[in-house]
Amino acid sequence: MPVPATEAVNPRRLIRDEVFLRLLDAIVDGDLLPGEQLYDAEIEKWVGVSRTPVREALNQLAGMGLVEILPQKRTRVTPIDPERLRGLIATLGTLFRSVVRDATPLLTDGDKEQLLALLARMNSGEDLAALVKERAATESVMSVYVRRLDNKTIARLATRHLPEIRRALNAAPSPASFEAGIPFLTATIEASVAGDVTKATEGVSGFWNTALAQLVDEYAATAKKEI
């Protein structure tokens, strides 16, 4: 397990939260690769903490589907499974269609400015990999609608599952699915700003059901080649 180079634990955070966030970022950003073995001792040395918060963080990540724990055998970063990814994208697509539909009429001027700023970045020619890593097209866009809707259950689901989508985008064989998603996100944001609920929901459905479905197809094709 190659240990990422990071600063010491932030004393303002609880130790278990710090360990969790370090591991989450390393997995989602690709510093720890799908299938990579995770060793408690190396993580303890990397973050500078005892075993208990490390195991707590690993168990939390296992609950998110990002870590696989086999007692007495191994702990590893969960490999990206195309069928699991397909089901997750379909589920989140249905969820966020409803979120965008219900939140669009509630958006404030500040929300709209934030969405337009994100849209400007996505259409600026900026490096696509950097945009994915910075959450510009997943957590950042969707969180505007989730926050405005103010539904704690939906917020928890988004926090739990969106990192897995971003990990898949970061590790994708090509940027094609992200590129395909930008027009749909553009349509979603522009319609939301204009108050057009129908077009906004159509746009977000296209992002999840068309662009991100292409991401699954890429992983499935790669898996077939490896067999």
pLDDT at residue 1, as a whole number = 60
pLDDT in tens, 109-160: 999 999 999 999 888 887 877 888 777 767 889 999 999 999 999 999 999 9
Identify the segments of the chain with pLDDT beneath 70: 1-13, 137, 225-227
**CA torsion through residues 205, 78, 62, 147, sign:** negative
d(C-alpha 226, C-alpha 33), whole Å: 17
Which amino acid does the sequence have at 14?
L
What's the whole-model pTM score? Answer: 0.85
pLDDT at 141: 93
> 176: how many CB neighbours lie within 10 A of its CB?
15
All domains of the chain, ordered by start, with CATH? 15-77 (1.10.10.10), 82-226 (1.20.120.530)
Residue by residue, DSSP assigns 165-210 as HHHHHHT-SSSHHHHHHHHHHHHHHHHHHHT-HHHHHHHHHHIIII
* pLDDT value of residue 3: 54
Residue 141 is encoded by which pair of tokens? 């866009």
What is the model's pLDDT at position 138? 74
Q: What is the model's pLDDT at position 174? A: 86
- What DSSP assignment string belongs to 67-130? EEEETTTEEEEPP--HHHHHHHHHHHHHHHHHHHHHHGGG--HHHHHHHHHHHHHHTTT--HHH
